[in-house]
Amino acid sequence: MAAVILGSGTPRGFAQAPANPPQLKVGEEAPDFKLQYFDGTDLKDIHLSQFRGKKNVIVAFYIFAFTGG
């Protein structure tokens, strides 16, 4: 007899992300921020507002350094 394996839908657990969408919406103003990065010599400040009127900005939040994506 062949075993019958029933599909049980998506596995639950590790990769389950919060289902709610972020509060910010397309069309809204992105909150300004000032953050630092290390360029190898110094800590440098970046303000989101410094790109206003000059460049589009992709702000990519990621979970931890040294992980994929």
d(CA 30, CA 24): 8
| Residues touching other proteins, count (CB under 8 A) | 45
CB of 7 to other proteins, least distance (A): 21
2 or 61: CB nearest other proteins: 61
By CB under 8 A, is residue 36 in contact with other proteins? Answer: yes
Token representation of residue 10: 């998506």
Q: φ and ψ at 49, to 5 degrees? A: -65, -15
Q: What is the CA radius of gyration of the chain?
A: 21
Where does this chain bind other proteins (CB under 8 A)?
A: 15, 17-18, 21-33, 35-40, 43-44, 46, 48-49, 51-66, 68-69
